[in-house]
Structure 1
Amino acid sequence: MGDADLLEVLAEEGEKVNKLDYSFQMSEQSLSSRETSFLINEETMFQKNQQSKDSIFFRDGIRQIDFVLSYVDDIKKDAELKAERRKEFEKNLRKTGLELEIEDKRDSEDGRTYFVKIHAPWEVLVTYAEVLGIKMPIKESDIPRPKHTPISYVLGPVRLPLSVKYPRPEYFTAQFSRHRQELFLIEDQATFFPSSSRNRIVYYILSRCPFGIEDGKKRFGIERLLNSNTYSSAYPLHDGQYWKPSEPPNPTNERYTLHQNWARFSYFYKEQPLDLIKNYYGEKIGIYFVFLGFYTEMLFFAAVVGLACFIYGLLSMEHNTSSTEICDPEIGGQMIMCPLCDQVCDYWRLNSTCLASKFSHLFDNESTVFFAIFMGIWVTLFLEFWKQRQARLEYEWDLVDFEEEQQQLQLRPEFEAMCKHRKLNAVTKEMEPYMPLYTRIPWYCLSGATVTLWMSLVVTSMVAVIVYRLSVFATFASFMESDASLKQVKSFLTPQITTSLTGSCLNFIVILILNFFYEKISAWITKMEIPRTYQEYESSLTLKMFLFQFVNFYSSCFYVAFFKGKFVGYPGKYTYLFNEWRSEECDPGGCLIELTTQLTIIMTGKQIFGNIKEAIYPLALNWWRRRKARTNSEKLYSRWEQDHDLESFGPLGLFYEYLETVTQFGFVTLFVASFPLAPLLALINNIVEIRVDAWKLTTQYRRTVASKAHSIGVWQDILYGMAVLSVATNAFIVAFTSDIIPRLVYYYAYSTNATQPMTGYVNNSLSVFLIADFPNHTAPSEKRDFITCRYRDYRYPPDDENKYFHNMQFWHVLAAKMTFIIVMEHVVFLVKFLLAWMIPDVPKDVVERIKREKLMTIKILHDFELDKLKENLGINSNEFAKHVMIEENKAQLAKSTI
């Protein structure tokens, strides 16, 4: 609002203001007049240099600022329209009972921003607390908090002080009613409603306040005004500075407490102050950190088991018969392998992959099967215990009778703007905007086509990376597999590993690029669908983003795990991609090591990149914004200006946090059989992630509007789907990507050495090919004296009548693989169902606590109404008891007569 608009408003209310005597002790009915008297006398009564820059009050130092709106003078052609909208909007806000105080642009740091400070007086708070069904304390709870178990004393160093962990006592609560105010524990009206409830109430009013009629339609809501740049921002204030406690008369600075006990990286081993997070940011953000913390705690057990499996592989690496035979100059050194590409590639000795075979054993050993089964059970326990944690949280945070947050169900301004039809709502019996299905179908088709196109683009980029690997493989092979390889040189950087490393890095870069552009496009096409409510918008965006992320991050891992090396053919009859490039082969020890490499690079790279981005991006933006804003350094740079220069968390900020966590959950569960250290990497990342998120919320972002949620929503269904899929993927990885099943088949069915059953396995797993059978276009250009070469497969030798056809051992191995998949899936799913049946969704003690609280609440309400009735009847307790007894006797007499 400009100076002219301000004067016009003051003129309208001037007569009323002159009749009132200013006083800080005036009644609630005169609050709005007192506010305007401040505006008139600001030049004479208020000295700017006497106000603290950390003050969160109006100029009187009494009324707390619950919300702030900001705007700048717009010199464009719609400046008058915006000014008129602001004038009408602020007038209607005053009509609802809110009190406004305007800071002129001349007093701002940048010299161009107006600030509208909003205060909700007591009458407004009690009215809308009843409308929103906010639960408030009626009596301190007599239910003791859960006692620490003996093992919890060992965890003493990770515990927070009780004053931080439980900042407020537990209460029996009831939905607030302004007609029952005596029932509630109101010691001080100024502090009865916490700041999170206050800003939630004010935002509820702002989102429904009209600002005029345009095109015959009533326009309302702060979101529409923000979208049209009528206001530049709308936000609640932080309690104070995060690096120092607040000074009187400011209330307790919960932001400082959170920063000291939650957002510092030196507290990485400490538990989170979850109740304090909920009180400050609201239940929706609070439950995200509960989920992230619980997921991190559960990852600890998976990480310990995974690390133990890795250590087992490390200790048994030197005693592994397969790698010993490969490295032996008399065994692996005498085995001449067939070329890995046509013409350019030369023959090579098996022992050149000595180090690679040892490294492969770290992740491809007997513990792989155990860990795959363990993770199938772990994911079930995680989801079942999360149900219990969520149920406990619903009780502790008064969300048992939770109804969907109103602001999520309200109509989006974009939906109303695009709607040309209206129809009667069967529930509210009111006419509301309506969009027929036929008008949405074109946008749905465009949305589906766009998602399909981008998912196809991901697959295309993956194929391009495969082509890159195939095209550069010959270069690496000709460089590394020269005559030196025939002289028994042992090298870790085999052509397969070298190409896999470079290909994985290139694939990761492509993933980040595609993800960056798709985030923008998915948000755009979701808006084009014109969702009706914010909940529909978020659900639609979640589906698009998850489908794309799933294909983008996991497609290359699926290729390596289930397709690479499975359709190679054999020497003389290879399969070709696009009739030009020969299909990729796996290392003689299998493709598991390449899957491990792929998974490690993508998972680790994404986590490091994500944490750096989350920390640096808002920090750089805030630094630049403050640098531009501090043009008038002699000005106060007040609390609302400091928060204005912070980054906005945005309505989708939490969405991207969940998406990041769920994507990591996929890496930990879907392919964990190939990389037992994945849970450990995820654990380390999440410990850092919790503190990075805490730091950026408390220091780099404006305070978010508090909103409620009783669960993690649609993400829980996604987690269940991924958990079921992970059982199948890990079973197939062990069977088809790992080398464990062929080794077991050889051990039990084909070994001829009773004392050392695995002796001879390497020779048994390699088939023989006659060099003379090479077609001219595939044979190496340089002639050799070898008669035969070896390749990885189970086929008859060239001197057999069924030469180069699969032998009986191939079918035995295939049958063993299919049997293993069926048995493992059935065992894991049986255990999953048993665990899900045995573990109740709601713990028994929580059920008892809920019943106890409901009973006590009903009793307290009953006693309150009874006392009120007695007071209204004007009789004492004895007379009231006689009255009740008489009525009961009358009722008994009536029954006996009947």
Structure 2
Amino acid sequence: MASQPLLKSSSKASYGSESVEMANKKSVTPLSMSKSAEFPPGTSMFRDQRRRVDFVLVYKDDADEGSVEMREYFHTELRKAGLHLEEIAPEMDESTSSEAGLYWILIHAPTAVLMRHAEEMGWKMPVRIADDDNEARLCDPGIFKTPLDTHRRIPDYYAALFRRDLLKNFLNYDKPNKLFSNAQRGRLVYDILQEALFSENSSDLGIDKLLETNVYLAAFPPHEGHYSPEEQEPDADDQPETARQELRRYWARWGVWYKNQPLDHIKEYFGEAVAFYFAWLGMYTVWLIPAALFGLFVVVYGAATLSSSPVVNQTCSSTLDMCPTCKRCDVALVNASCIYAKLSRLFDNEFTLAFAVIMSFWATFFLEFWKRKTIQLAYRWDVLGEEEEAERPRPQYCIKATGEAPNPITGRTEPYFPPSSRTPRFLTGWSIIAVMFVLLLILVIGVIFYRTIILVVFLGSSFRAEAPVLTSLTGSILNLVVIIIMSFIYSKLATFLTNWEMHRTDDDYNYHLTMKMYLFEFVNYYSSLFYIAFFKGRFSGYPCDYTTVFGFRLEQCTVSGCFYELSQQLLIILVGKQIFNNFMEIVVPKIKVLYAKWKMKRMYGSIVENEQWKRDFYECEDFGGLFGEYLEMVIQFGFVTVFVAAMPLAPLFSLLNNIVEIRLDARKFITQYRRPVAMKADGIGIWQTIISTVATFAVVANAFLIAFTSEIIPEVFYRYVGPTGNMDGYVHHLLSKYNNETNGTGHCISYGLRQANTNTCYYKKYSNQEYYYHLLLVRTVFVILFEHFVFGIVRLIDLFVPDIPRSLYLKIKREEYLAKSALSEDVNSPPPDQGEKSFA
């Protein structure tokens, strides 16, 4: 193939200083406006059907002269940058007028403009397809291969920094409409919009600031056609499926729940940031499968061995009297705790320790493999090792900044808010956060008091026999309601405080918001679990010396301990949270969309929805980012790892939820959200650090849970060190005798001993103190050995298993070599063979 000449319009002198007329005249070139050019199916077009719509701006015509002037100045600057603008005025009918209607600014970027900007941003572009024997094909996490990979396979490319003077060496150099994908075009146009001024002040720039001040109502790249083929325009029936329809068919559909995710296609349509989220969620879900199966085995084993458990049999057959726990309580037999002993046995049996150890390794292994997967995907998507761009100030920061100062990187004058003014705001914000933490702990204590009071109420009613179960169940539900309400309130407060702290860049803003939200949610969701696991029943006191607060006794555990109650609390919070979140993600968005369409129709009259950008605006809501999605999954990750020993079924419920979550999130991105700008990313960002911290903390938490909450260590210790040499008398060994005649006082009698037929009762406390301290030593040694063993293995893995596999390391070096070779070829030599190896 003979080499093609470079584009004449790629000269840097062609941009930035030309008049509006020259910009429009120059852009009409065979490269960007050829009638025979092929566009991907579903591409939105200008009226001339020769230029594609890369971005859409929406505004309402109002009488605000300031907004009008800013828009006119902004449009002029966009034309100077080489962009084409086409304005669509509202149609006149009986129910609307041009003064009250919506205006649409359609934006098209000529390929020459995109090339210049891609070169300035240091983008990597494909120079040739990877060799078949060296192609780093990555299996998307899942059970079966997605049909979309077979239907429209995206090859792996070697890439190099884009250079216009070496254009012929890049793939599709002679196919301008395929040189950049639609997602890439939207991202490049967005960057141009972010750099354009809207006044003579050099700090007044960026579409985000105009959106923040309501100069524009929306700004977004259009979707590629309707997600349903049935909704296509009548003359498009014979057209092939669009990329959006392919993702809808092969990814965002319940019928493919067992299929792999087409990560390459997600990245191609939505960008690397969204693709990394679904890659992480998919891999996490697949890794839950063995954890869920093992957890289910633990529960099944516990149920199968109920009848042969010595502890359960002794508890259910004991006729010893337990001391009353309140003034209205009767003396109860030990066998009243039979149901709790059986429930505890389901989750707390011989395999619970092995399950806790395996899940500790599971969390650390998952993180190690995810690191490797991250590097593989970053390499495949050409974002590995990319240097971060100098971030622009956030629009909220620009609006509220009190001064101006030059940017130390770019030298451009930007809005500036001095640190001396930020520090008091920062300290005040975290002081308010501390108050919220105290309030949250007060609410947890309030739930504890509720349980104490409601127990007395149930004991004085006809539900006396079911009082403990009802108290625990209603307390757990109340705690879930408090968690949901506090989460909603705090999310609003955290957002307000983070805005008030005046963080300059999005990275700083997202970091502080994430830390505020996750720390609070950690305490919000897990505080009640920590109370039951490590504090409940340990400070309640003993007969004649009960611990009271405001006249109420502190809660205590049954003979079988608090393990069953911890399991119940975790199950209710985990499953209840999942049900609530799924309701909010399925029902609420549909209601919001219906309301928005009704509101738009009421305000602007009949809605014409033939154009895709109008459908996107009316039928879809703005994409709010991935923060909420990550936060939900990381909280779930904590349930699966930190308290998994108390609820072996947590991985199973999380697996079932995530199977739904993947397709539910996919449907939202395809059908409910406007198309987000395809942002680059080389991983999951700060969430990687948070997940690693949770996994480390989970090892310690599970060690303490097994040692001090579970009955595994006491049972094993009694079997080999106890007086009988087996499990005989184990339950009796847990109890101490109280005699009212020798130890009692009037105060003790008022607690109910006078209702008994005997002056002797038992309460939970080791009668042999020396045995108790020996057991305490064993528990402490177990914690130390457990965490040192797990952390030692993890350290060995870090030492001997590199984050970058050697095969991938060689591929990276080979790509660097081939990319340099391709770009160093003589301009008159034939370009690399391209054939059908394109993203289209």
| TM-score, scaled relative to structure 2 | 0.90
CA contact (8 A) 1:346 1:481 kept: no
CA contact (8 A) 1:345 1:481 kept: no
* Letter aligned with residue 223 of structure 2: H
CA contact (8 A) 2:136 2:156 kept: no
Equivalent residue for 1:104?
89
CA contact (8 A) 2:31 2:111 kept: no
Q: Does residue 243 in structure 1 map to residue 216 in structure 2? A: no
Equivalent residue for 1:464?
446
* Letter aligned with residue 170 of structure 1: D
Q: Does residue 454 in structure 1 map to residue 427 in structure 2? A: no
Question: Displacement, 1:577?
Answer: 2.4
1:337 to 1:546, Cα distance in 2 relative to 1, 3 A: same
Q: Does residue 352 in structure 1 map to residue 336 in structure 2? A: yes
Q: How big is each residue's C-alpha offset from its partner over 1:237-269, in whole Å with a ceiling of 9 and x where there is no partner?
A: 000111118638988611100010111011110
1:498 to 1:636, Cα distance in 2 relative to 1, 3 A: closer
Structure 2: segments with no counterpart, 5+ residues: 1-18, 36-40, 831-840
1:203 to 1:416, Cα distance in 2 relative to 1, 3 A: same
CA distance in 2, matches of 1:272, 1:110: 44
Q: Does residue 643 in structure 1 map to residue 616 in structure 2? A: yes
Q: Does residue 206 in structure 1 map to residue 190 in structure 2? A: no
Question: Displacement, 1:665?
Answer: 0.6
Q: Does residue 285 in structure 1 map to residue 285 in structure 2? A: no
CA distance in 1, matches of 2:381, 2:73: 38
Question: Displacement, 1:429?
Answer: 4.2
Structure 1: segments with no counterpart, 5+ residues: 1-12, 35-52, 483-490, 797-806, 869-898
The SS at the match of 1:207 is helix
CA distance in 2, matches of 1:317, 1:204: 65
CA distance in 2, matches of 1:131, 1:346: 81
1:55 to 1:669, Cα distance in 2 relative to 1, 3 A: closer
Equivalent residue for 1:386?
370
* Letter aligned with residue 802 of structure 2: P
CA contact (8 A) 2:209 2:399 kept: no
Q: Does residue 340 in structure 1 map to residue 322 in structure 2? A: no
CA contact (8 A) 1:237 1:703 kept: yes
Question: Displacement, 1:455?
Answer: 1.1
CA contact (8 A) 1:404 1:709 kept: no
Q: Does residue 758 in structure 1 map to residue 727 in structure 2? A: yes
The SS at the match of 1:219 is coil
Q: How big is each residue's C-alpha offset from its partner over 1:79-131, in whole Å with a ceiling of 9 and x where there is no partner?
A: 11111111111111111111011111226997611111111111111111111
Equivalent residue for 2:573?
602
CA distance in 2, matches of 1:195, 1:189: 12
Equivalent residue for 1:27?
29
Question: Displacement, 1:533?
Answer: 0.6
Following superposition of structure 1 onto structure 2, how do residues 514-529 of structure 1 map, counting pairs within 5 Å?
514-529=486-501
Equivalent residue for 2:794?
832
1:166 to 1:748, Cα distance in 2 relative to 1, 3 A: farther
With 249-258 and 768-777 compared, the bigger mean Cα shift is at 249-258
Equivalent residue for 1:68?
56
| Identity value in percent | 39
The SS at the match of 1:768 is strand
CA distance in 2, matches of 1:606, 1:841: 34
1:289 to 1:644, Cα distance in 2 relative to 1, 3 A: same
Following superposition of structure 1 onto structure 2, how do residues 187-206 of structure 1 map, counting pairs within 5 Å?
187-206=174-193
Question: Displacement, 1:725?
Answer: 0.8
Equivalent residue for 1:314?
303
Q: How big is each residue's C-alpha offset from its partner over 1:760-805, in whole Å with a ceiling of 9 and x where there is no partner?
A: 1111111111133344344345532212111111136xxxxxxxxx
1:554 to 1:116, Cα distance in 2 relative to 1, 3 A: same
Equivalent residue for 1:859?
821
* Letter aligned with residue 441 of structure 2: V
* Letter aligned with residue 585 of structure 1: Q
Number of residue pairs matched? 795
The SS at the match of 1:428 is coil
Quote the RMSD (CA, aligned, Å).
3.0
CA contact (8 A) 1:165 1:274 kept: no
Question: Which gives a bigger RCO, structure 1 or 2 (Cα 8 Å, sep 6+)?
Answer: 2
Q: Does residue 167 in structure 1 map to residue 153 in structure 2? A: yes
The SS at the match of 1:211 is coil
CA distance in 1, matches of 2:295, 2:549: 37
CA distance in 1, matches of 2:484, 2:370: 31
CA contact (8 A) 1:302 1:679 kept: yes
The SS at the match of 1:167 is coil
Question: Displacement, 1:654?
Answer: 0.2
The SS at the match of 1:138 is strand
With 653-662 and 638-647 compared, the bigger mean Cα shift is at 638-647
CA contact (8 A) 2:142 2:282 kept: no
CA distance in 2, matches of 1:426, 1:157: 50
The SS at the match of 1:86 is helix
Equivalent residue for 1:473?
455
- Structure with the greater alpha carbon radius of gyration: 1
* Letter aligned with residue 815 of structure 1: L
CA contact (8 A) 1:771 1:787 kept: yes
* Letter aligned with residue 829 of structure 1: F
Question: Displacement, 1:427?
Answer: 3.7
The SS at the match of 2:825 is helix
Q: Does residue 511 in structure 1 map to residue 483 in structure 2? A: yes
Question: Displacement, 1:615?
Answer: 1.5
1:687 to 1:165, Cα distance in 2 relative to 1, 3 A: farther
CA distance in 2, matches of 1:715, 1:55: 35
The SS at the match of 1:734 is helix
CA contact (8 A) 1:346 1:478 kept: no
Equivalent residue for 1:40?
none
Equivalent residue for 2:812?
850
Equivalent residue for 1:377?
361
CA distance in 1, matches of 2:72, 2:377: 43
The SS at the match of 1:71 is strand
Following superposition of structure 1 onto structure 2, how do residues 354-503 of structure 1 map, counting pairs within 5 Å?
354-404=338-388, 409-479=391-461, 493=466, 495-503=467-475
Following superposition of structure 1 onto structure 2, how do residues 295-334 of structure 1 map, counting pairs within 5 Å?
295-328=284-317, 332=318, 334=319
Equivalent residue for 2:771?
809
Question: Displacement, 1:432?
Answer: 3.9
Q: How big is each residue's C-alpha offset from its partner over 1:123-176, in whole Å with a ceiling of 9 and x where there is no partner?
A: 111111111222222112114477999xx99x9972123645863222221122
CA contact (8 A) 1:133 1:175 kept: yes
* Letter aligned with residue 810 of structure 1: Y
CA distance in 2, matches of 1:421, 1:630: 43
CA contact (8 A) 1:164 1:276 kept: no
Question: Displacement, 1:413?
Answer: 2.3
1:466 to 1:30, Cα distance in 2 relative to 1, 3 A: closer
Q: Does residue 93 in structure 1 map to residue 55 in structure 2? A: no
CA distance in 1, matches of 2:32, 2:807: 50
CA distance in 2, matches of 1:190, 1:54: 14
Question: Displacement, 1:419?
Answer: 3.1
Equivalent residue for 1:666?
638
CA contact (8 A) 1:210 1:221 kept: yes
Following superposition of structure 1 onto structure 2, how do residues 874-885 of structure 1 map, counting pairs within 5 Å?
none
CA distance in 2, matches of 1:865, 1:420: 53
Question: Displacement, 1:612?
Answer: 1.5
The SS at the match of 1:769 is strand
The SS at the match of 1:210 is coil
Query: 1:256 aligned to 212, 223, 245, which one?
Result: 245
* Letter aligned with residue 349 of structure 1: L
1:405 to 1:476, Cα distance in 2 relative to 1, 3 A: farther
CA distance in 1, matches of 2:786, 2:303: 25
The SS at the match of 2:763 is strand
CA distance in 2, matches of 1:554, 1:611: 21
CA distance in 2, matches of 1:161, 1:371: 36
* Letter aligned with residue 205 of structure 2: F
CA distance in 2, matches of 1:414, 1:230: 14
* Letter aligned with residue 354 of structure 1: C
Q: How big is each residue's C-alpha offset from its partner over 1:668-701, in whole Å with a ceiling of 9 and x where there is no partner?
A: 1111111111111111111110000001110011
The SS at the match of 1:362 is helix
| TM-score, scaled relative to structure 1 | 0.84
Equivalent residue for 1:592?
563
CA contact (8 A) 1:282 1:708 kept: yes
